[in-house]
């Protein structure tokens, strides 16, 4: 290895929060890990961990140290990937974090098709909430992030964006599903509603849609899971507000109907693919982003043809680096 196992030890302690847990995960003696910590602290001249009664916590110097360590480990992983790529063309490894809605919607099918076309590629997919999806990308734990309503964040760069409107999801036999054109909000809120749970970014967007109404709207069910909301709509429990990507598979199978909202109540949910500003995408990550962007462009074109989303172009991706 081009770097000391000390870096792996420090990284694992920061993740585990204790020497004992890190030792168990790494299958090494606790004393060996402790020696590496003490050696690094002596070398730096400052403590990198605060010793607590029930574990360890990074100091301010430790935070700087762990950021550097993860950059080094990530760079070494990329080097290994490139070296393997000399022997196995189109090989590599990509890690990504996604918001819950996409992971429960079109993303698994996109990942499956990518793996079918690139069988030597290896993908790691983590799932997180919109408010924390940026964190694994910022820390260097993963290469890429994708999600709705990702706020502008220092240290991140946007590779591509799409504007996906929130609309109404109905059972195909519902009377409103048979109406032509966008649905009036006043008609929709007269029906029972099943909505995203309070505190979720999607619910914040829905609240903006509902804000102009003269009276508050009380959903019959609230849930953090898009798949739960889809199931409830299919059962006839109520209508929901989601975006067309959330239900594109259900709509193709004729199990659900998506209808846009009439103006002025339509709101866009920005879909963003992003990476760390200071990190250069390797060949594997760039290849996956190109594939992902192509797949999303096809999906958006399908939704445009149905009138579910406005005409648009993805923006921001600069190609392979």
Are residues 257 and 172 located together in one domain of the fold? Answer: yes
For residue 319, the model assigns a pLDDT of: 38
In a domain, 78, yes or no: no
For residue 91, the model assigns a pLDDT of: 62
Are residues 238 and 258 located together in one domain of the fold? Answer: yes
For residue 218, the model assigns a pLDDT of: 92
The total of structural domains in the chain comes to 3
For residue 307, the model assigns a pLDDT of: 77
CB neighbourhood size of 239 (10 A): 27
Beta strand ranges found along 129-277 (DSSP E): 144-148, 156-165, 167-170, 194-196, 221-223, 240-242, 257-260, 268-276
For 186, counting Cβ atoms within 10 Å of its Cβ (0-12 exposed, 13-18 middle, 19+ buried), the class is: exposed
For residue 320, the model assigns a pLDDT of: 38
pTM of the model as a whole: 0.67
Residue 55 is given by DSSP the state E
Handedness of CA 155, 159, 165, 166 (dihedral sign): negative
For residue 318, the model assigns a pLDDT of: 39
Give the CA angle between residues 75, 288, 298 to the nearest 5°. Answer: 160
The SS3 call for residue 30 is helix
CB 235 within 8 A of CB 250: no
Boundaries of domain holding 21: 5-69
Are residues 296 and 160 located together in one domain of the fold? Answer: yes
For residue 168, the model assigns a pLDDT of: 95
Give the whole-angstrom CA distance, residue 300 versus residue 245.
8
In a domain, 74, yes or no: no
Number of H helices, E strands in the chain: 12, 12
- 264 token code pair: 């002025």
- Extract the residue ranges of the chain whose pLDDT is less than 50: 1-2, 86, 88-89, 314-321
CATH of the domain at 10: 1.10.10.10
The SS3 call for residue 4 is coil
CATH of the domain at 114: 3.40.190.10
pLDDT digits (tens, 9 = 90+) for 164-207: 989 999 999 999 998 888 999 999 999 999 999 988 888 889 99
In a domain, 47, yes or no: yes
Are residues 63 and 24 located together in one domain of the fold? Answer: yes
In a domain, 255, yes or no: yes
The SS3 call for residue 83 is helix
Give the whole-angstrom CA distance, residue 191 versus residue 184.
12
- 251 token code pair: 């709509």
For residue 120, the model assigns a pLDDT of: 83
């Amino acid at each position: 290895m081009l770097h000391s196992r000390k870096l792996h030890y420090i990284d694992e302690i920061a993740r585990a929060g204790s020497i004992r847990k890190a030792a168990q995960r790494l299958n090494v003696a606790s004393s060996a890990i402790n020696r590496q910590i003490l050696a690094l602290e002596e070398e730096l001249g400052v403590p990198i961990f605060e010793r607590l009664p029930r574990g360890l916590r990074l100091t301010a110097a430790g935070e700087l140290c762990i950021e550097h360590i993860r950059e080094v480990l990530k760079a070494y992983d990329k080097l290994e990937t490139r070296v393997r790529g000399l022997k196995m063309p189109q090989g590599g490894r990509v890690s990504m974090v996604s918001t819950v809605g996409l992971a429960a919607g079109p993303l698994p099918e996109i990942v499956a098709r990518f793996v079918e076309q690139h069988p030597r590629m290896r993908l790691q997919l983590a799932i997180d909430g919109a408010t924390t999806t940026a964190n694994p990308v910022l820390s260097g734990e993963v290469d890429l992030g994708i999600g709705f309503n990702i706020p502008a964040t220092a240290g991140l760069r946007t590779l591509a964006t799409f504007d996906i409107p929130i609309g109404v999801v109905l059972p195909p036999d519902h009377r409103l599903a048979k109406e032509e054109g966008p649905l009036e909000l006043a008609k929709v809120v007269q029906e029972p509603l099943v909505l995203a749970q309070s505190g979720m970014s999607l619910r914040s967007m829905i609240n903006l849609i509902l804000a102009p109404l003269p009276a508050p709207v009380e959903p019959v069910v609230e849930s953090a899971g898009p798949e739960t909301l889809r199931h409830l709509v299919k059962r006839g429990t109520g209508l929901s507000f989601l975006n067309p990507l959330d239900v594109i598979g259900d709509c193709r199978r004729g199990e659900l109907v998506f209808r846009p909202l009439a103006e002025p109540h339509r709101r866009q949910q920005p879909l963003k693919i992003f990476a760390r500003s200071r990190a250069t995408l390797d060949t594997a990550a760039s290849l996956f982003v190109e594939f992902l962007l192509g797949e999303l462009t096809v999906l958006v074109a399908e939704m445009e043809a149905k009138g579910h989303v406005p005409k648009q172009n993805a923006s921001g991706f600069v190609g392979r680096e």
